[in-house]
């Protein structure tokens, strides 16, 4: 109905608060089942266009709630089958492996447990794309057992994949670099972050100085770690160490609200852009969408998430600093529905409202860049005229803007689209940091 709803958890139960159709107050839907709530998220788990909920349970298996429409949220333990274990502190939904669907990382801590206890072992539930999830943390080197409280995922080095920072109560904190395939390496020793500054609860990431790199706000002895742009960080003291993050005074710089106090960011001369999403086929706020901006710096990437860190709810508006750059080449929005919107040369130092499906890529937006695709029309194989493209990622978008194929160029300098139905498609790739978009016909 266009008004914001809430999910609230406490030490005994979960309640959903649905805004009335006139925006005047809420209708509460309490759930009777016992749960010692920790982090909660709203996320479209089954990708049906409405938001479901996931609530961490401190003393038992966590609770997923299926949205069945209207004001009907149903507890469904088969919705995502997590291990039947306690110690669930902070869940975060993220497409860590860049396969187009949302996965879930579960940060775990269990009072009184011993090292090696699975109730304190972090878990990654990979979305298999068919409505099921598989726990894969050990295989991607993210099965930490050090009494973790919360983990954040951001593209700290702007290389197109999400890295992670995890705060622990035992051993040391972790900073995981993503190798691009969804496998992680702990590089905390080289980051400048205090490895043994233990005991933090809260942990969030945002670009506070608008230089184009995500910084870290956390309950550490240095509350703000400024990203230097080379996967190292410089610690700064602040009078606060947590809170809900958003641009409260609409000046393009992110502020923090905590405990009735509002901390205003004084800002600087750097430029910025904000992106507010309005879903049509996807959920209204675009939760789960990926927003990518392109410019002279390369790319920056954000995901719209409802619930990050241990307890706070930050803004659903995507925020990007672009430093001293004065132009953005394009903004790409990959919606949960599969629709892809592309906005060319957007205004900077402004907030854009982007409605799903209103900026679908057309052939007139293409930068051909001297690359030809042949034959066209084709029934199966597309060849690329430029050599040395083996391994280059390629996206194929249908005429409605939906992503229908993610693949890479083969050793024969081609891709196979035999699985696609007949129709018009757009083939997208990047070569020499330039966008290449071609219209092709499948016959």
With contact defined as beta carbons under 8 Å apart, do 305 and 44 qualify?
Answer: no
User: Which stretches in the chain have pLDDT values below 50?
Assistant: 362-368
Question: Are 422 and 377 in contact, with CB atoms under 8 Å apart?
Answer: no
**Which pLDDT belongs to residue 361?**
60
Phi-psi bin for 249: left (phi > 0), alpha (psi -120 to 50), beta? alpha
Instruction: Kindly report, residue by residue over 360-407, the tens digit of the pLDDT.
Output: 764 444 444 568 899 999 999 999 988 889 999 999 987 666 788 999
Tell me the backbone φ, ψ of residue 120, rounded to 5 degrees. Answer: -120, 15
Alpha carbons 324 and 333: distance in angstroms, whole number: 23
The residues with which 27 forms a beta bridge, in sequence order, are 18
Rounded to 5°, the CA angle 9-238-322 comes to 90
Q: For position 417, what pLDDT does the model report?
A: 96
Dihedral (Cα; 74, 79, 81, 86), 10-degree rounding = -30
pLDDT score at 402: 75
pTM over 0.75: yes
What does the alpha-carbon distance between residue 330 and residue 335 come to, in Å, rounded to a whole number? Answer: 16
Into which CATH architecture does domain 363-442 fall?
Sandwich (2.60)
Structural fold of domain 271-355: Immunoglobulin-like (2.60.40)
pLDDT at position 246 is: 98
User: Among all chains, which residue has been given the structure tokens 């090696």?
Assistant: 116
Residues of the chain with CATH 2.130.10.10: 6-263
Comma-separated ranges of CATH 2.60.40.10 domains in the chain: 363-442
Determine the distance from the C-alpha atom of residue 57 to the mean position of all C-alpha atoms in its chain, rounded to a whole number. 22
Architecture of domain 6-263: 7 Propeller (2.130)
pLDDT at position 365 is 41
Task: Sort 355 into a burial class: Cβ within 10 Å, 0-12 / 13-18 / 19+.
Answer: middle
pLDDT at 367: 43
| Helix H or strand E segment including 162 | none
User: Concatenated DSSP letters for 44-57?
Assistant: -TT-SSS-EEEEEE
Count the Cβ atoms, other than its own, within 10 Å of residue 20.
11
As a whole number of angstroms, the distance between CA 150 and CA 221 comes to 17
pLDDT value of position 398: 79
């Amino acid at each position: 109905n266009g008004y914001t709803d809430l999910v609230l958890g406490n030490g005994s139960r979960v309640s959903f608060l649905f805004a009335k159709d006139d925006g005047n107050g809420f209708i509460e839907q309490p759930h009777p089942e016992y749960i010692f709530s920790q982090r909660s998220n709203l996320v479209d788990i089954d990708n049906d266009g409405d938001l479901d909920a996931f609530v961490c349970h401190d003393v038992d298996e966590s609770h997923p709630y299926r949205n069945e429409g209207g004001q009907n949220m149903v507890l469904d333990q088969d919705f995502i089958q997590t291990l039947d274990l306690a110690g669930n502190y902070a869940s975060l939904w993220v497409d860590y492996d860049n396969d187009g669907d949302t996965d879930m990382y579960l940060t775990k801590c269990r009072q009184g447990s011993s090292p090696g206890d699975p109730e304190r072992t972090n878990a990654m539930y990979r979305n298999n794309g068919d409505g099921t999830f598989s726990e894969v943390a050990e295989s991607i080197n993210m099965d930490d057992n050090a009494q973790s409280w919360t983990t954040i995922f951001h593209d700290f080095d702007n290389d197109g994949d999400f890295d992670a920072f995890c705060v622990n109560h035992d051993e040391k904190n972790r900073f995981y670099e993503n190798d691009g395939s969804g496998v992680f390496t702990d590089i905390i020793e080289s980051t400048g972050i205090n490895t043994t500054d233990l005991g933090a609860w809260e942990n969030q990431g945002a670009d506070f100085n608008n230089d184009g790199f995500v910084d870290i706000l956390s309950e550490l002895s240095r509350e703000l770690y400024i990203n230097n742009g080379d996967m190292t960080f410089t610690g700064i003291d602040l009078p606060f160490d947590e809170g809900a993050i958003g641009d409260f005074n609409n000046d393009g710089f992110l502020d923090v609200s905590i405990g009735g106090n509002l901390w205003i960011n004084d800002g600087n001369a750097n430029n910025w852009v904000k992106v507010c999403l309005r879903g049509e086929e996807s959920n209204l706020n675009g939760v789960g969408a990926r927003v990518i901006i392109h410019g002279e710096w390369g790319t920056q990437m954000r995901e719209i998430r409802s619930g990050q860190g241990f307890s706070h709810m930050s803004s659903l508006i995507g925020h990007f600093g672009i430093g001293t750059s004065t132009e953005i080449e394009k903004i790409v929005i990959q919606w949960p529905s599969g629709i892809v919107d592309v906005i060319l040369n957007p205004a900077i130092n402004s907030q854009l409202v982007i409605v799903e499906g209103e900026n679908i890529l057309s052939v007139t937006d293409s930068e051909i860049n001297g690359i030809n695709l042949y034959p066209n029309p084709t029934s199966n194989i597309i060849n690329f005229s430029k050599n040395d493209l083996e391994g280059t990622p390629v996206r194929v978008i249908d005429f409605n803007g939906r992503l229908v194929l993610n693949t890479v160029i083969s050793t024969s300098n081609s891709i196979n689209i035999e699985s696609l139905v007949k129709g018009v498609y757009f083939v997208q790739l990047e070569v020499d940091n330039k966008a290449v978009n071609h219209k092709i016909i499948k016959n």
